[in-house]
């Protein structure tokens, strides 16, 4: 198990290096350069600034410096907000996105497992049809529409009641987080529900469930001990990619609900062409996702002994 | 026991009836088509997809309205609004009407969407007046609305409003100013209902009427028809949806085809070569998979650097192909590895088939089903990606319509004119839904192993 974890970690570090390299060269292809802005600049100023940021070096040197700084966990200084470190920006905004993402993943996972199990239990009856209809809606309606509609209904609801039950936008308390997290987790929840349903149906027709039934095990016990536990496994495998989808999917939700997260900050940085912030955020996100997937895989190995045997 | 004679031992008639095939044999594709036809949901989705393609390709031929033309008389109009407009004479300057009957703030002429002319008597103690317009009554908090004009003497007691007039109700107020030009509590207000009008000249220019011969001042004509209403710049929503469909479906269908094609070539090459090359190629694919997708879509978009006047459709297409091929490559490689070990391949080789025959005759047809299913599922996610990026302003550049950018524009006026968001969102949802259900149906029909447990 330990060698497996180490192997995955080594792969992960290599992947992060690849992400960093791709980001670096993609950013170097951007037309213009970081010092091009609306302020007029004399040639001396420009040369001084280029020297300061190391932009006068050949690209290979710049790349090596970038990698060396990266290995120390230093993403450099923002070009737009003077003297502000990219690390600082990430430290300030990432917890917000992470909090939102964690809540969304919790919503998606619990909702997906619960609804998926329900649909399998009530297969081809009304609850199944209703939930599957909602699932198809959840997959087909774009997240920004869901976000806008939920915001609109919040406004109407608050107006109707006469006081603010849940805030419409902003960040701060747990009340601010509930609706955005739900919206963010919705499409993943729909996907997980579908997955859980088919895996549950597969488990229901398996031998060990039949054996348990013939032994006279009560139906609720079969459901919790045999069906649910086995059917959850495929859901755990896709949690890694699901976390990735939710973290980047946060852009829209952060934009619509005015949440000061890293996703919104990234979009702003791109609009202002803030090179170091863009590179830092991308590498940070990439590394985060890579290690998230590794953690999920390792956890999966712990839960399911069959996986451990294979590796 | 009865008597047996020689005739009892005559051979019975031979029945030459061997096994008969009871129905004609079906090819894989015929069989799949029959199964797809039996699936009602998939069939309906197929019709919807065909309808969407017709809407995109044949739509602009039927509804020949330029999506870029602005109908400034009908801005942000929801579908089915009253289109009547009365013909009025051409505009002429106006400097108050002498001896206008009545008192207080009053209209000099019936108000219409060309001009609102009002006149008032000097308010008590006023050293001047300021004119306001609002969409709501003044109320107890004295909210007058936006200031339109200010007169610092009592000579000018008339005002003509021509600013952005729309049919509907407006509330005008005149507020008295004190000696220093500050507003006082003295005001008078007026409720005005505007009627939509147009001049003969304009009606001719826009092609609302053919000739000016039979039309007199005061006649009512109908403005241009917008079946789905107009957007915030007065552009026809139906025409824009058609133009946007071209962009959204071009990316949504073009990108999956390209990256699946690349994935098939890459994956089958890796699977066929095997060994070291396979390992290396798949490791590279693993790296590409690990790139955070949306972030790199945005990175590539700025790395391409779209200039002014460019739509940004092509960079988006390229970025999607660069980032999304590995999933298909993995799938196809797995398939190829599996097929390579099949008995019929060995049999074929034994009969003298060469490599190209094996690929063309066995490998490709046997992976085609899986690939087709992948394409169908890739289309809705590509459409979503386009919409998502355009929505956050990182996709198609503004003058080019796409369903995503239209939603982005529509969401800003969601409270007042919801139809501008509703229609593009509806089209995105329907398209994604149709392709998802069609994908489900195709998977059930084409691939027995991937079949859903229903």
Question: Nearest-5° angle of CA B408, CA B412, CA B413?
Answer: 120
Asked if A196 contacts A117 with a C-beta cutoff of 8 angstroms, the reply is: yes
Q: Give me the helix-helix angle, A229-256 and A143-161, nearest 10°.
A: 80
* Residue B414 DSSP label: T
Q: Which residue of A has its CA nearest to B422?
A: A145
Q: What confidence tier does B294 reach under pLDDT thresholds 50, 70, 90?
A: confident
CB contact under 8 A, A142 and B407: yes
Q: How many CB atoms lie within 10 A of CB B171?
A: 19
Strand partners, B151: B129
Contact B296 A26 (CB under 8 A): yes
Interface test with B, best of A116, A124, A135, A145 (most B CBs within 10 A): A145
- Are the beta carbons of B436 and A141 separated by less than 8 Å? no
Quote the CA–CA distance of B394 and B411 in Å, as a whole number: 16
Which is nearest to B422 in space by CA: B439, B403, B436, B438? B403
Integer Cα distance of A307 and B402 in angstroms: 45
pLDDT in tens, B212-243: 666 777 677 777 777 777 877 778 888 888 88
- Taking the CA of residue A43 and the nearest CA in chain B, the distance in Å comes to 25
User: Would you say residue B1 has pLDDT above 70?
Assistant: no
Neighbours of B275 (CB within 10 A): 8
Whole-angstrom distance, CA of residue A18 vs CA of residue A36: 28
**Cβ–Cβ contacts within 10 Å for residue B117, how many?**
19
Radius of gyration of chain A measured on its C-alpha atoms: 24
**Tokens encoding B291:** 């790139």
Distance set, CA B317 to CA B231, B248, B255, B296 (Å)? 27, 11, 6, 13
In Å, how far is B363's CA from the nearest CA of chain A? 28
Model confidence pLDDT, tens digit, residues B177-208? 888 878 888 888 888 888 777 777 777 777 66
Please enumerate residues of B whose Cβ is less than 8 A from a Cβ of A: 286-287, 290-296, 298-300, 302-305, 380, 384, 387-388, 391-394, 404, 407-408, 411, 414-415, 421, 425, 428-430, 432-433, 436-437, 452-453
Mutate to test the interface with B, among A97, A143, A144, A256 (most CBs of B within 10 A): A144
Question: What's residue B16's pLDDT?
Answer: 66
Instruction: Kindly state the average pLDDT of the residues B433-441.
Output: 86
Q: Give residue B447's pLDDT.
A: 66
Distance from CA of B90 to the nearest CA of A (A): 43
Once rounded to an integer, what is the mean pLDDT over residues B23-48? 82
Average pLDDT, integer, range B355-380: 82
CB contact under 8 A, B292 and A285: yes
CA atoms within 13 A on the CB side of B446: 19
Give the confidence band of B21 by pLDDT, cuts at 50, 70, 90. Answer: low
Q: Which domains does chain B have, with CATH numbers?
A: 44-66+233-450 (1.10.3720.10), 84-223 (2.60.40.10)
Neighbouring CB atoms inside 10 A of B147's CB total 13
ipTM over 0.85: no
CA B77 to CA B420: how far, in whole Å? 9
- Which pair of tokens denotes residue B324? 């999304």
Q: What is the pTM of this model?
A: 0.78
pLDDT surpasses 50 at B405: yes
DSSP calls for B129-145 = EEEEEESS--TTTT---
Tell me the average pLDDT across B274-284: 86
Provide the 3-class DSSP secondary structure of residue A61. Answer: helix
Distance from C-alpha of B88 to C-alpha of A252, rounded to nearest angstrom? 48
Distance between CA B446 and CA B454 in Å, rounded? 16
Q: What is the pLDDT of residue B258?
A: 92
B250 pLDDT above the threshold of 70 = yes
Answer yes or no: do B290 and A18 touch at CB < 8 A: yes
pLDDT-wise least confident of A92-101, A281-290, B342-351, B389-398: B389-398
Beta strands B116-119 and B158-161: pairing type? antiparallel
DSSP A21-42: HHHHHHHHTSSS-TT-SSS---
Local structure of residue B332 (DSSP, 8 states):
H
User: How far, in Å, CA of B197 to CA of B89, rounded?
Assistant: 10
B236 bridge partner residues: B230
Q: How far apart are CA A89 and CA A72, in angstroms?
A: 17
Chain segment B75-108, per-residue pLDDT in tens: 777 777 777 777 777 788 888 777 778 778 888 8
Q: Where are the alpha helices (DSSP H) in B210-363?
A: 237-273, 275-290, 293-304, 313-340, 343-350, 355-358
How many Cβ pairs within 8 Å bridge chains A and B?
Answer: 114
Q: Where are the alpha helices (DSSP H) in B232-274?
A: 237-273
Mean pLDDT for each 10-residue chunk of chain A (311 residues)? 82 87 82 66 78 77 83 78 80 85 89 88 84 85 84 81 72 78 87 87 86 88 84 80 75 83 82 82 85 81 66 46
- Return the residue in B291, B377, B417, B431 with the most chain A beta carbons within 10 A, the one to mutate for interface testing: B291
For every residue of chain A, DSSP letters joined together read -HHHHHHHHHHHHHHHHHHHHHHHHHHHTSSS-TT-SSS---HHHHHHHHHHHTTTS-HHHHHHHHHHHHHTT---B-SSSTT-BHHHHHHHHHHHHHHHHHHHHHHHHHHHHHHHHHHHHTTTSHHHHHHHHHHHHHHHS-HHHHHHHHHHHHHHHHHHHSS-SS-SS--SSHHHHHHHHHHHHHHHHHHHHHHHHHHHHHHHTSHHHHHHHHHT--HHHIIIIIIIHHHHHHHHHHHHHHHHHHHHHHHHHHHHTT---HHHHHHHHHHHT-HHHHHHHHHHHHHHHHHHHHHHHHHHHHH-HHHHHH-
- Indicate which of B294, B326, B417 best probes the interface with A, i.e. most A CBs within 10 Å of its own CB: B294
**Other CB atoms within 10 A of residue B323 CB:** 20
Question: In terms of CA atoms, which chain A residue is nearest residue B430?
Answer: A140
Q: Within its chain, how far is the Cα of B192 from the centroid?
A: 37
> What tokens appear for A71 in the block?
């290995």
CA distance B452 to chain A (A): 7
**Cα separation, B321 vs A230, whole angstroms:** 37
Rg (CA), chain B: 36
- Residue B327 pLDDT > 80, yes or no? yes
Residue B450 has pLDDT above 60, yes or no: no
pLDDT at A64: 85
Return the ∠ at Cα A223 (arms to A222 and A227), rounded to 5°.
90
Euclidean distance between CA atoms B232 and B390, whole angstroms: 18
């Amino acid at each position: 198990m330990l060698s497996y974890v180490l192997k995955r970690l080594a792969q992960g570090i290599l992947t992060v290096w690849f992400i960093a390299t791709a980001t670096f060269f993609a950013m170097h292809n951007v037309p213009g350069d970081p010092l091009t802005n609306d302020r007029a600049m004399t040639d001396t100023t420009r040369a001084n600034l280029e020297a300061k940021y190391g932009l006068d070096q050949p690209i290979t040197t710049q790349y090596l410096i970038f990698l060396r700084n990266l290995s120390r966990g230093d993403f450099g200084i923002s070009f737009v907000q003077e003297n502000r470190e990219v690390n600082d920006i990430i430290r300030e905004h990432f917890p917000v996105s992470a909090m939102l993402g964690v809540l969304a993943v919790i919503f998606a996972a619990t909702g997906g497992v619960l609804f998926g199990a329900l649909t399998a239990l009530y297969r081809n009856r009304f609850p199944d049809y209703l939930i599957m209809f909602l699932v198809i809606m959840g997959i087909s309606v774009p997240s920004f529409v869901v976000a806008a509609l939920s915001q609109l209904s919040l406004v109407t609801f608050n107006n109707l009641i006469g006081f603010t039950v849940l805030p419409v936008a902003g960040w701060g308390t747990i009340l601010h987080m509930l609706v955005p997290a739900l919206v963010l987790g919705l499409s993943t929840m729909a996907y997980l529900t579908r997955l859980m349903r088919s895996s549950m149906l597969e488990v229901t027709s398996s031998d060990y469930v039949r054996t348990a039934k013939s032994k006279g095990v009560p139906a609720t016990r079969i459901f919790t001990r045999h069906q649910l536990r086995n059917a959850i496994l495929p859901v755990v495998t896709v949690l890694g990619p699901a976390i990735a989808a939710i973290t980047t999917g946060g852009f829209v939700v952060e934009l619509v609900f005015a949440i000061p997260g890293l996703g919104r900050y990234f979009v702003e940085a791109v609009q202002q062409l803030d090179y170091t912030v863009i590179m830092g955020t991308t590498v940070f996100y990439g590394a985060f996702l890579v290690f998230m997937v590794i953690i999920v895989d390792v956890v999966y190995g712990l839960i399911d002994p069959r996986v451990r045997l294979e590796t | 026991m009865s008597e047996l004679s020689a005739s009892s031992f005559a051979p019975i008639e031979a029945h030459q009836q061997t096994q008969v095939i009871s129905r004609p044999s079906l090819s894989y594709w015929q069989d799949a088509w029959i199964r797809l036809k039996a699936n009602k949901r998939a069939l309906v989705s197929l019709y919807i997809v065909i309808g969407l393609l017709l809407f995109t390709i044949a739509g602009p031929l039927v509804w020949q309205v330029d999506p870029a033309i602005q109908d400034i008389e009908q801005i942000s109009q929801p579908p089915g609004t009253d289109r009547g407009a009365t013909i009025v004479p051409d505009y002429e300057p106006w400097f108050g009407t002498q001896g206008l009957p009545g008192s207080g703030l009053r209209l000099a002429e019936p108000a219409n969407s060309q001009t609102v002319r009002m006149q008032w008597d000097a308010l008590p103690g006023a050293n001047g007046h300021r004119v306001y317009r609002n969409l709501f009554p003044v109320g107890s908090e004295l909210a007058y609305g936006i200031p339109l004009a200010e007169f610092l003497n009592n000579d000018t007691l008339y005002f003509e409003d021509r600013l952005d007039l729309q049919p509907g109700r407006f509330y005008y107020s005149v507020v008295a100013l004190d000696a220093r030009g500050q507003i006082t509590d003295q005001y008078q207000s007026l409720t005005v209902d505007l009627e939509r009008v147009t001049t003969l000249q304009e009606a001719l220019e826009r092609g609302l009427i053919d000739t000016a011969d039979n039309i007199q001042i005061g006649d009512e004509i109908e403005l241009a028809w917008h079946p789905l209403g107009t957007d915030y710049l007065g552009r026809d929503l139906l025409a824009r949806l058609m133009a946007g469909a071209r962009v959204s479906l071009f990316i949504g269908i073009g990108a999956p085809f390209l990256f699946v094609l690349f994935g098939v070539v890459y994956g089958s090459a890796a699977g066929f070569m095997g060994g070291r090359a396979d390992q290396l190629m798949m490791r590279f694919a693993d790296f590409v998979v690990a790139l955070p997708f949306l972030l790199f879509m945005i990175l590539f978009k700025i790395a391409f650097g779209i200039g002014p006047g460019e739509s940004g459709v092509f960079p988006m297409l390229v970025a999607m192909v660069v980032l999304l091929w590995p999933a298909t490559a993995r799938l196809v490689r797995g398939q190829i590895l599996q097929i390579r070990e099949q008995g019929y391949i060995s049999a074929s080789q034994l009969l003298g088939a060469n490599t190209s025959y094996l690929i063309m005759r066995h490998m490709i047809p046997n992976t085609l089903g899986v690939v087709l299913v992948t394409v169908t599922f890739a289309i809705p996610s590509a459409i979503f990606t386009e919409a998502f990026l355009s929505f956050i302003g990182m996709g198609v550049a503004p003058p080019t319509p796409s369903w995503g950018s239209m939603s982005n524009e529509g969401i800003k006026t969601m409270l007042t004119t919801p139809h501008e968001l509703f229609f593009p969102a509806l089209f995105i949802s329907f398209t994604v839904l149709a392709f998802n259900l069609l994908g489900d149906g195709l998977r059930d029909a084409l691939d027995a192993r991937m079949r859903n447990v229903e």
